[in-house]
Amino acid sequence: MAPQARAAEARATYGVATAARLVSASVLAIVVWHPILMVLAFPVLMGEALLAYRAPWSASFTRPQRKVVHWVSHTLAIVCIAGGLSAVWRSHDLAKPPIPNLYSPHSFLGLSAVSLLALQVCGCTSSRDWRA
């Protein structure tokens, strides 16, 4: 075999081995849930929660029923957020070698968004007007 062919084969083999080492099937099966759950949580469920009081589909609901829809939508969003964060954290830990969990601007921006959401939830639930 010619030296150039051997070098090309070695590069291809190294690339495949590196990709297989960095991303295994189990890691991919976990990390794929992160974008799905986050998109379901933030724009879809939280958007529905925000529109629960004014949406055309809720025009026939009473105010207490709209509050229940609002509360349930936010609760489901928080469950999806927890699942999405868990998926990405777990996939980083399972990668070979493990990937640092907080290493990019995306991770810090996401963590700050979740922290602001937690502050908002604490502020809203501690308010004395939330039952009105």
Q: Which residues 6+ apart lie within 8 Å of 26 measured at CB?
A: 94
Least confident interval from 20-24, 29-33, 43-47, 59-63: 20-24
Separation of alpha carbons 11 and 62, rounded Å: 66
Taking only the tens place, the pLDDT of each residue in 62-81 is 999 998 999 999 999 999 99
Separation of alpha carbons 33 and 88, rounded Å: 8
Domain coordinates in residue numbering, the chain: 24-126
pLDDT of residue 17: 47
Taking only the tens place, the pLDDT of each residue in 86-126 is 999 999 998 888 889 898 999 999 999 999 999 988 988 88
Range 54-58 average pLDDT: 86
CATH code of the domain occupying 24-126: 1.20.120.1770
Do residues 102 and 88 touch, judged by C-beta distance below 8 A? no
